[in-house]
Amino acid sequence: MTATASASTAIREFAAAVRAALDDLPADDLDELTEGLEADLLEQATDAGADFTLGDPQAYAEELRAAAGLPQRDDRRTKRGEQFYAWLGEIPSTAAGRIRSTRFGSAALDFAVSLRPFWWVLRGWVVFQILARMFTSWEFHFALPPTASGWLLLTSCLVVSIQWGRGRWLFWKWLHGVKILVSIIAVITLPFMGAAAVGTQSSIAHAREDYAMGAEPSSGLRMNGSDVTNIFAYDADGTPLREVQLFDQTGNPLMASYDPGMSWLWAGIDNSGYEFGYVPNERAGRSGWNVFPLDTVDARGLSYDRDGREVIDRSRVTDAPLPFEKARPLSALPEPDDATEGPSESPAPGDETPAAPESTEPDAVPDGSQQLAPAPVG
């Protein structure tokens, strides 16, 4: 009984050593090669009795590889990877030791350590910028994402970076090396990413400012000093109307933008990260800038001919999003009051008030005495 238990222990240790020698293989291949290994060895030990020997687990593992047609283990690659991650892990401590060798360096490093939370956020932002360039279709370098999916990506990068800074979410040993590598890349690319983001925002602001300064202030519609880029009409029931033509008091068409050929610059950014603009109604042609609401098209649907005129790809034209689906209906007018506002009725015959009889008294003279009739003569 004791010999059997001892053999079982030796077989388990042998099988564990064989699996360790095969740990560079994918999990499926490893399971397929070592499935039932202990049972097979125990059966062989029972049949051979005292003559059974286990041998070298490394050699046994190589035999399993050869039988399965798998390549031999490349220890040099494994050692190089381990050495590389170990070298990365030593960089912070080595650099910190050199910096702290002077009094000024020690004080500066202590101050930098207090800014670690800020660095975690900045590192996450840089990683977001890199991923945005790789996996999104944005044409510009935005400091903050213009879409909901972009905000989700930025939030994920910030959370992971902060957790890594706190020493969390490093589930595998190699993630420590990845964290250091990401930090090095962030330090190198931070100046370029920051300059690109600031430059983009500055360029957009200057372009709009220069364009606005060159425009005639009397052209186009304005509301509280701001340009009106689109107009939405609703009927008395609050239902939105489409293709509404607007004119002023003299019959001139009303246009929201002071320069229809460049009005798309003032629109904004759509959910895909592209600038979008307004285009005239298709049925009215180029003269349809007074037909509201104006349609929208992203920057990919706009090009220019040799004369500098806009060429619109109508396959990318969509209806402008409504500010609200339904407006407040107009209230009904109050009913007129018959007692106060109705026409006066004519009096019925016989209802007239009789006129006062004429007075038979002589007219009074100015001094208040009565004038007597003259006496008859003869």
Per domain, the residue ranges of the chain are 2-73, 74-114, 116-210, 222-316
Report the candidate in 130, 218, 116 with the shortest Cα–Cα distance to residue 182.
130
For 318, list phi and psi in degrees, rounded to 5: -135, 165
pLDDT value at residue 370: 46
pLDDT value at residue 372: 43
Q: What is the pTM (predicted TM-score) of this model? A: 0.40
Instruction: Read off the tokens for 197.
Output: 């983001």
pLDDT value at residue 253: 85
Instruction: Read off the tokens for 52.
Output: 């059974």
* Ranges of residues in the chain whose predicted pLDDT is under 50: 1, 215, 217-218, 263-266, 359-362, 364-378
pLDDT value at residue 365: 46
Q: Residue 84: which residues within 8 A CB-CB, separation 6 or more?
A: 177
Q: Are 230 and 219 in contact (CB under 8 A)?
A: no
Q: Residue 57: which residues within 8 A CB-CB, separation 6 or more?
A: 14, 17, 18, 20, 21
Q: How far apart are CA 20 and CA 27, in angstroms?
A: 12
Q: Residue 98: which residues within 8 A CB-CB, separation 6 or more?
A: 105
Cα atoms found within 13 Å of the Cα of residue 202, Cβ hemisphere only: 6
pLDDT value at residue 344: 55
For 375, list phi and psi in degrees, rounded to 5: -75, 150
pLDDT value at residue 168: 86
